Amino acid sequence: MKFRTDPATIRGSIAPVVTPFTDEGAVDHDSLRGLIRWQLESGSHGISLGGSTGEPSAQTTAERIAALRTAVDEIGDRVPFLPGTGSHKLDETLEITAAAQELGADAALVITPYYARPTQEALYQWYATVAREFPGLPLVAYNVPSRTAVDIAPETVRRLYTDFDNFVGVKETTKDFEHFSRVLHACGRDLLVWSGIELLCLPLLALGGAGFVSAVANLAPTAVARMYELWEAGESDAARDLHYRLHPLVDLLFVETNPAPAKWVLEQQGRIASGWVRPPLTSPTEDGLARIRTLLAEGGDLTQQL
């Protein structure tokens, strides 16, 4: 929990690692440890687990907490740990967030409750409840309307940021780039904003973003981290070069539903024992694999350390 008292230090490329499963469907903790070690060796500035890329809705609460325990044990205090702890159920959200706090997470990433389509007032009350329950834990809203069917408005973020000292930021996974600007304008640029949209990661830095939680870091962690470092060093042309070189891998991620394509690649590269995804997802189809192989041939050099 080294970074918990200063959440402004949680910056750069926060890699949202997949949750590996065995061929039989159980959580593969050995592969998870290996992935985290690789991320740290590759220069990722932080680790996240349990966001959309980690298939949290297909896991039990106990499985999610056990995975958090493995991640914390592997990470230690080397980089910030920002796990996803949210659910569509408040009791599960509170239980997983409590476990994350106890285990030593530096902040909690709490998704907007999905399927129910709550109003903005209901979203405010949801996050306010979590914030009051864990006053010593920095909280980050996870806004991903393409998966949850609800979009947390800039004004709602502003209310939460104003009312709760431990509400520190938002992960914006929306292709509406104007939304990023309006959130920062409403709250001020001390609000921590990370992009969850791969091709908006670099542009967000120009607005004052804190970094990104980008699924492509599962395949090219060094390149994604280096893109942030180059921008921060004022080497914008080199950062843009990496941004465009990452395009094929970004397209690869979404040939079929994320994280199935990424897991297939990680299995082929020997980084996880199995590319299994849990229902309702399926492993890539033959047509999908053909497209994945083509894109991997175009951008696969970035899957190696630079």
Can you give the chain as a three-state secondary structure string? CCCCCCHHHCCEEEEEECCCECCCCCECHHHHHHHHHHHHHCCCCEEEECCHHHCHHHCCHHHHHHHHHHHHHHHCCCCCECCECCCCCHHHHHHHHHHHHHHCCCCEEEECCCCCCCCHHHHHHHHHHHHHHCCCCCEEEEECHHHHCCCCCHHHHHHHHHHCCCEEEEEECCCCHHHHHHHHHHHCCCCEEEECCHHHHHHHHHHCCCEECCHHHHCCHHHHHHHHHHHHCCCHHHHHHHHHHCHHHHHHHCCCCCCHHHHHHHHHCCCCCCCCCCCCCCCCCHHHHHHHHHHHHHHHHHHCCC
The set of residues, in sequence order, having a beta carbon less than 8 Å from that of 99 and lying 6+ positions away, is: 65, 68, 85
Q: Residue 115 catalytic?
A: no
Q: Span 53-79, mean pLDDT?
A: 97
Decide if pLDDT at 242 tops 80.
yes
- Annotation: binding site for pyruvate: 53, 213
pLDDT at site 304: 86
For the whole model, what pTM was predicted?
Answer: 0.96
171 is catalytic: yes
Please compute the mean of the pLDDT values over residues 178-200 and round it to a whole number: 96
What is the strand order of the sheet 192-195 is part of? Answer: 46-49, 12-17, 211-212, 192-195, 167-172, 139-143, 108-111
In tens, the pLDDT along 201-237 reads 999 999 999 999 999 999 999 999 999 999 999 999 9
pLDDT over 90 for what percent of the chain? 98
The mean per-residue pLDDT over the stretch 39-65 comes to 97
User: Over 90: is that where the pLDDT of 299 sits?
Assistant: yes
Average pLDDT, the chain: 97
Catalytic pick among 124, 127, 171, 263: 171
- Please give the pLDDT value at position 2: 85
CA-nearest of 209, 216, 218, 119 to 172 is 209
Over residues 76-129, the pLDDT tens digits come to: 999 999 999 999 999 999 999 999 999 999 999 999 999 999 999 999 999 999
10-236 falls under which CATH superfamily? Aldolase class I (3.20.20.70)
Q: What are phi and psi of 290, to 5 degrees?
A: -60, -45
pLDDT of residue 282: 97
Distance CA 293, CA 20 (A): 21
Average pLDDT over residues 126-144: 98
pLDDT surpasses 80 at 1: no
* pLDDT tens-digit readout, 22-50: 999 999 999 999 999 999 999 999 999 99
What is the rounded CA–CA span in Å between residue 82 and residue 103? Answer: 12
Q: What is the mean pLDDT of residues 62-66?
A: 98
Q: How confident is the model at residue 138 (pLDDT cuts 50, 70, 90)?
A: very high
Per-residue confidence band for 194, with pLDDT thresholds at 50, 70 and 90: very high
Binding residues: 53, 213
Catalytic residue among 127, 142, 161, 228: 142
The pLDDT assigned to 122 comes to 98
* Euclidean distance between CA atoms 270 and 289, whole angstroms: 17
The whole-number pLDDT of residue 306 equals 66
Mean pLDDT, residues 163-176: 97
